Amino acid sequence: GFQGKVIPIHHKEDEILGFKAYTSIEQVPDSVDLAVIATPTEYVNNILDGLGQNGVRHSIVLSGGFLEAGNQKGQEEMKNIGEKYNMKIMGPNCSGEVVAPDINITHVPWPPRKGGASIISQSGTYAVQPLIAISEKIGLGISKIVSVGNEVNTDLVDFLEAFEEDKDTNCIGIYFEAVRRGKKFIEVVERLNLEKPIVIIPIGQTDAGTRSAKSHTAAITSPGYIIDSICEQTGAVRVKNSIDMLNLLNAFDSLPLPKGNRVGILTMGGGPGTLMSDLLESNDMKVPVLSDELQDKLKPWMPETASTINPIDLTYSDDMQNYLNILPDILLQSDEIDSLIIYGLMGSEYHKNLVNVPDFMKNNSSVQTMKSFGDMMQDFFIAIFDELISYKEKFNKPVILTCYNTRREKFVAYLQDHGIPVYYPEEGIWILIWMWQYSKFIQWKKKADKISG
Amino acid sequence: GFQGKVIPIHHKEDEILGFKAYTSIEQVPDSVDLAVIATPTEYVNNILDGLGQNGVRHSIVLSGGFLEAGNQKGQEEMKNIGEKYNMKIMGPNCSGEVVAPDINITHVPWPPRKGGASIISQSGTYAVQPLIAISEKIGLGISKIVSVGNEVNTDLVDFLEAFEEDKDTNCIGIYFEAVRRGKKFIEVVERLNLEKPIVIIPIGQTDAGTRSAKSHTAAITSPGYIIDSICEQTGAVRVKNSIDMLNLLNAFDSLPLPKGNRVGILTMGGGPGTLMSDLLESNDMKVPVLSDELQDKLKPWMPETASTINPIDLTYSDDMQNYLNILPDILLQSDEIDSLIIYGLMGSEYHKNLVNVPDFMKNNSSVQTMKSFGDMMQDFFIAIFDELISYKEKFNKPVILTCYNTRREKFVAYLQDHGIPVYYPEEGIWILIWMWQYSKFIQWKKKADKISG
């Protein structure tokens, strides 16, 4: 947990959640690094002024009721206070920030796992609500989340520059509504995207969207084609929904980039193998037929009914070591594929449900055997997963697992927490497609810069 | 649970999972309604012949190793046995069937909730694996699932005709790889889709997909444009991934159809409201500005900072009764919207996490108050939900809830199990778009038939 000191200030309570409370900043004996303001609108500027007088130089204003509500005067006054005291203000009308794992100044109490993805959001909701999805399904590792609100004297671009310096940030997601410093924004994204992949989800490109955004953060939204052009020029990846953005950040944070567009599919089911192939080949990716030599290397580890062409379809096998260690090892080692997608684990809930039998069977010895088999599977799986997890580094190629489980299933949480992303089958395909788009752009850009420089 | 009798037959065990086992069908004293065969390939046809001799007229062959593995002779033999005894065979090379809630002849032990969606799958994996997603996130209510395998003497079309008669089936999903009776298929889909919406997800339209499908169920796949034409002609809805199909079936099973394309968005967050508006207005839907009269009716129930235009953005409010009962009631009652999408619940895990505080605070009275508030919320929520659930019938308009939670959160399970679908925000939008596509086709088709008839 957070090791620093938390000091509540309240106009009448003298204790809040066990912390001694003060009635004003003047009474606080310690020097204050950061003030968080959540009061009715009419008190905010007075409080900021008091903070400024007492040497506080960083504030987060959660309170709304400023420009987004037509209160231009209030917001200008706040801007002047910031200038007077050289105080950086995040907000107003924002949802706070997260610095994982210890600081969470938001109203959504889901603790994210510590990781390398940072998010800047011009929507307070999109800054904090996806924390729930992250914790229940996606398992994305977070470094920082900031909700910029009305951007009174710190904006999107400031935080991008901060994340450029930040060693804990590996990739950046932006919920983008409008930009107040367009040229600078493009310049920073263009430079930063070469080192840390940037994923953008634009909000507010239609009549209704624009109307909604205006009452939201007082933003004049930018039409979709502008964001399209920015992404084309800078190589930032544009996605269309929030889950895709979180999934993609997860992949950028965990995996090496694919060096080409050839994908190996290792599957326990023909249907998902076929559908994943379709999606890949309709989107500039290849599921290449493997060479006879490579197929011959795979065959001894697969059932006779299996197909080795690619998708490599085991049809069914309960030898997890062949499935998740030996076959991936052979495939990744070859120079015939650039990334590997694996479909088909069911994990331990599967075995738990298997023994969900009628009462009269409960003491039957076969059921008991199956039950202890289920328990045993846990440890057994972890050994196999640790080996699998090591492959992405060993061969420097992305490895993605797909299945229908959420983090309720322990094996999903284990893999996600150790850097193997786990998605629904078709979700995983889109992640590979976007990663390759990004990788291709970077390869092209570096080559182009070399020629022109 | 299943009330009928289960009789194992095994060549050497005399008891399986507590059931007395026999060594052959001749020894079984009872008459048998359905036989399920899961043995090595070489025994299957002999067993089928024995079953036929002993009067069994329905079999499911899970075993593979027939046409999909190049064993044409074996499959022809099976066909002849079927003809000889007038025996209906499902499979071979299939994953069985589910008749919810009591019969689950598959290897995936997740029990689906009983509902009105039936699925026919030419992929065994897609027949049964999504049961996991259904149970962890989607909450789809299932009537029947059948995996048709190599379709030796029962095919896709037979099951479509069976579901046409089946009173428990409200809508149908098809994992479509190839059709063996094309003309008949189109004829049945065209007729059936007018009464029970059909959702199709085609598998195998690219080189790799075709290759994969061929080794999968020996199917010669149909190119994508053929399925596109079939959907255009019949009004069946084509989707591109398995989660979309399950989500859409969920909506068709639970909700009335939208009569027009005007959507009301009631939200606790500007960002999702804006993004949902964008997606709707980019896809033939409208998020109309509400009339002044309607806005005036909404205002008394909303915070002053809120926006009533549409999206109706409460910014934030903790009055759940206003949010989930009074405002939806006013909106749905009006003739200005055809469907309602609500964003923003966090539920009870939210309050549980809120009190996830450091140890030294545990006995603090404010924390205790918050904790019992969390418990109290459960019952309180249910009363509000029951009212909300009644609206879709009362006003005969679809109501969808969106948030970032899975079924781990009790309120999600409660709503889904009582007929209000719960999706991620952008998922919910696509569901409305597809429902409207279907509804528009049906309206047009009925009008056209009236004129021509």
Find the CATH number of the domain harbouring B419: 3.40.50.261
* Partner A contacted by B353 (CB < 8 A): yes
Secondary structure class of B433 (helix, strand, coil) = helix
B324 shares a domain with B197:
no
Banded model confidence at residue A175, pLDDT cuts 50, 70, 90: very high
Answer whether A212 sits within 8 Å of B270, measured CB to CB.
yes
Residue B233 lies in a domain: yes
A305 shares a domain with A198:
no
Banded model confidence at residue B310, pLDDT cuts 50, 70, 90: very high
Q: Among residues B254, B288, B317, which one ends one of the domains?
A: B254
Q: What's chain A's Rg over C-alpha atoms? A: 26
Number of compact structural domains in chain A:
3
B136 shares a domain with B241:
yes
Give the pLDDT confidence score for residue B193 in this predicted structure.
97
A241 shares a domain with A384:
no
Q: How far is CA A80 from CA A41, A47, A83, B410, B422, in A?
A: 16, 14, 5, 48, 45
Give the pLDDT confidence score for residue A212 in this predicted structure.
64
Residue A3 lies in a domain: no
Q: How far is CA B243 from CA A427, B147, B223, B246, B295, in A?
A: 9, 18, 22, 5, 36
CA dihedral for B350, B352, B358, B364, sign (positive or negative): positive
Report how far residue A91's alpha carbon sits from residue A342's, in angstroms, rounded to the nearest whole number.
43
Cα of first residue to Cα of last residue in chain B, in angstroms, is 48
Compare CB distances from B109 to A130, A289, A353 and report the shortest one's residue.
Answer: A353
Q: Which backbone phi and psi does B329 adopt, to 5 degrees?
A: -60, -50
B349 pLDDT more than 70: no
Give the pLDDT confidence score for residue B59 in this predicted structure.
98
Residues A409-440 pLDDT 10s? 888 999 999 999 999 999 999 999 999 999 99
A221 pLDDT more than 70: no
Residue B2 lies in a domain: no
Banded model confidence at residue B114, pLDDT cuts 50, 70, 90: very high
Residue of chain B nearest A403, judged by CA positions: B129
Q: Among residues B56, B90, B124, which one ends one of the domains?
A: B90
B326 shares a domain with B408:
yes
Query: Which structural domain, as residue segments, surrounds residue A182?
Result: 97-254
Give the pLDDT confidence score for residue A378 in this predicted structure.
67
A243 shares a domain with A277:
no
A216 pLDDT more than 60: no
Residue B392 lies in a domain: yes
Q: Are B388 and B324 in contact (CB under 8 A)?
A: yes
Q: Are A95 and A192 in contact (CB under 8 A)?
A: no
Say if strands A113-121 and A141-147 run parallel, antiparallel, or are unpaired. Answer: parallel
Cβ neighbours of A248 (radius 10 Å): 27
Q: Are B113 and B140 in contact (CB under 8 A)?
A: yes
Residues 330 through 349 of chain A touching chain B, CB cutoff 8 Å: 344, 346
B110 shares a domain with B200:
yes
A113 shares a domain with A38:
no
Banded model confidence at residue B214, pLDDT cuts 50, 70, 90: low
Q: Are A250 and A140 in contact (CB under 8 A)?
A: yes
Residues 129 through 158 of chain B touching chain A, CB cutoff 8 Å: 129-133, 136-137
- Average pLDDT for B257-285: 94
Banded model confidence at residue B225, pLDDT cuts 50, 70, 90: confident
Secondary structure class of A234 (helix, strand, coil) = helix
Residue A451 lies in a domain: no
Q: How much is the mean pLDDT over chain A? A: 90
B302 shares a domain with B267:
yes
B355 pLDDT more than 60: no
Q: Among residues B90, B106, B126, which one ends one of the domains?
A: B90
B129 pLDDT more than 60: yes
Q: What does B39-79 look like in DSSP terms, one character per residue?
A: S-HHHHHHHHHHHHHTT--EEEE----SGGGT-HHHHHHHH
Higher pLDDT, B377 or B179: B179
Structural tokens at position B110: 């997740």
Secondary structure class of B267 (helix, strand, coil) = strand
Give the pLDDT confidence score for residue A367 in this predicted structure.
65
A270 shares a domain with A147:
no
Report how far residue A361's alpha carbon sits from residue A381's, in angstroms, rounded to the nearest whole number.
27
Residue A5 lies in a domain: no
- Average pLDDT for A169-176: 97
Nearest to B393 by CA among B264, B256, B251, B195: B256
Answer whether B211 sits within 8 Å of A175, measured CB to CB.
no
Structural tokens at position A340: 């590997």
CA B14 and chain centroid, separation = 39
Residue A428 lies in a domain: yes
- Average pLDDT for B246-272: 96
Residue A287 lies in a domain: yes
Banded model confidence at residue B374, pLDDT cuts 50, 70, 90: low
Q: What is the CATH number of the domain that holds A32?
A: 3.40.50.720
Structural tokens at position B156: 């896709």
CB-CB neighbors (< 8 A) of A136 in chain B: 404-406, 408-409
DSSP H stretches of helix in A395-424? 410-417
What ipTM score was computed for the predicted complex, to two decimals? 0.91
Nearest to B432 by CA among B397, B403, B407, B404: B397
* Partner A contacted by B315 (CB < 8 A): yes
Cβ neighbours of A181 (radius 10 Å): 14
CB-CB neighbors (< 8 A) of B271 in chain A: 121-126, 175, 177, 203, 216
B24 shares a domain with B115:
no
A390 shares a domain with A291:
yes
Banded model confidence at residue B68, pLDDT cuts 50, 70, 90: confident
